[in-house]
Amino acid sequence: EMLKSTVFGSVTVSYPRGWGIAPSRSNTVAVFTNRKAFFEVHPPDPKAKTAKAIAESALQKQGKGASILAQGQDKVGNYDAYWFAVSSGGRKMRVVGIDGPTRIAVVAYVNAASFDDYAGTFDIMQDSITFGR
């Protein structure tokens, strides 16, 4: 069962029952977590005007020096998205830029478990993102 939360006024994210919304250090990031896996919704770099530019900027901030394992174009909520799968210090992370009516970056990673154990959950959460007007 999935619960829903709206962040940044118009971005709706579904997350699994049992997960919570953790406060972020700056109160500008929405962090959905079960304390092992983290699915963060970040505001984009205001200068980034494409999904790829949003993802690249978020990658520079969140995964500086990470090795890119894979990357590609996608759609989230019928809007252009660009994703990077990266490894930093042996830890896998997914960084996604979404060029929706509200531009966002998604950063998904795992601390106390295997990324692969949560990849399906991250896919469902990413695919659930919708944008209000």
Q: Chain-wide mean pLDDT for the chain?
A: 93
Strands 30-33 and 2-7: unpaired
The alpha carbon dihedral of 70, 72, 19, 66 has a sign of positive
pLDDT at residue 27 is higher than 80: no
CA atoms within 13 A on the CB side of 29: 20
What does the pLDDT read at residue 62? 87
* Assessment of whether the complete model's pTM goes beyond 0.75: yes
> Which residue do the tokens 């983290």 mark?
38
User: What confidence category does residue 65 fall into, taking pLDDT thresholds of 50, 70 and 90?
Assistant: confident
Torsion of CA 28, 30, 34, 35, to 10 degrees: -10
pLDDT at residue 26 is higher than 90: no
> What is the strand order of the sheet 79-88 is part of?
20-22, 30-33, 37-42, 104-110, 91-98, 79-88, 67-76
Region 92-104 average pLDDT: 96
